[in-house]
Amino acid sequence: MELAEFAKDTLQPLLELVRRYVLNARKLHGDDIPVPVLDPGRGKTKTGRLWTYVRDDRPSGNADPPAVWFAYSPDRKAEHPANHLREFRGVLQADAYAGFNRLYEQGRIVEAACWAHVRRKFYDAYQAHASPIAEEALKRIGELYVIEEQIRGRSPEERQRIRAERTQPLLDSLHGWLKQCLAKLFQKSDVAKAIQYALERWTSLLRYVNDGCLEIDNNAAERALRAIALGRKNYLFQGSDAGGEYAAAMYSLIGTAKLNDLDPEAYLSYILSRIADHPIHRLEELLPWNTPVRKISRSAESEQAD
């Protein structure tokens, strides 16, 4: 049996548990990344996608184990996230990918936009033109992040209260200032486009202020994709769509193990040596947070990432 088939047949019940656990959250972080895939018969590669959906409520003081589920698709059509999230009801923290819009329009999924993407656009404008407006925008957005750093790990109720007292006034001031600046700028300039990007998403950018369970950005999903971005430096392409699905399966298990501070190699060895004979009705025992696999220190993890 090929490795990809083994992953599909033997690990699929465990992966299904991870998928269901992730989608049972009331808030998810979502994102995607391109991956080169061999296109048989054409002598070249095509661009597939790996989608990530992260459940991690530790910043709001929740003790539920974090987890990540990856899914592969041969393209970036909107039908894929619609299919992935067909069972999900709640808030999706994501970037401005237009394919998510149909999910928001249906009403069962609420959009929470990402301040890191807003900040990135102003940062790029400042790097390119040393714009004083972009510099001031970065300063103001930085003040929002200072508050978030101070309240990380506190209860949703406390986070919401502090945001109402300290964050909301900053956002009200920022909103008025951005509108004033936009009126004076050439509308096709990089700074104007950064302002327009923020103002067009203002309602969803403010959603985190009134919900202490939400985050200011979508960095949880971007961190989950970091391993894939690093991995692409070590391989040229996935061999097929089946290989992409195998990669998604492995990234799901490895990523969830790492979120729970487990040594990924030790965790995979543990489950692969047991899953074939493990009672199906006790499969939850093989989820990362239920195994006796050794922990990996945060400092060691950081050294590996470097």
Please state, for a pLDDT cut of 90, what percent of the chain lies above it.
Answer: 79
For the chain, give percent helix, strand, coil, nearest 5: 60, 15, 25
Q: What percent of the chain has pLDDT over 70?
A: 89
At 305, is the pLDDT very low, low, confident or very high (cuts 50, 70, 90)? Answer: very low
Decide: helix, strand or coil at residue 37: strand
User: How are beta strands 67-73 and 27-39 bridged, if at all?
Assistant: unpaired
pLDDT in tens, 176-195: 999 999 999 999 999 999 99
What's the pLDDT at 229?
67
DSSP letter for 31, please. Answer: E
Query: Does residue 134 carry a pLDDT above 90?
Result: yes
User: pLDDT class for 129, splitting at 50, 70, 90?
Assistant: very high
CB 247 within 8 A of CB 238: yes
CA distance 177 to 202: 13
pLDDT at position 42 is: 66
Say whether pLDDT at 235 is over 70: no
294 — pLDDT class (breaks 50, 70, 90): confident
For 47-99, write each residue's pLDDT tens digit.
899 999 999 999 999 999 999 999 999 999 999 999 999 999 999 999 999 99
What is the pLDDT of the chain when averaged over all its residues? Answer: 90
Q: What is the pTM of this model?
A: 0.91
pLDDT exceeds cutoff 60 at 299: no
Position 300 scores a pLDDT of 45
pLDDT at position 302 over 60? no
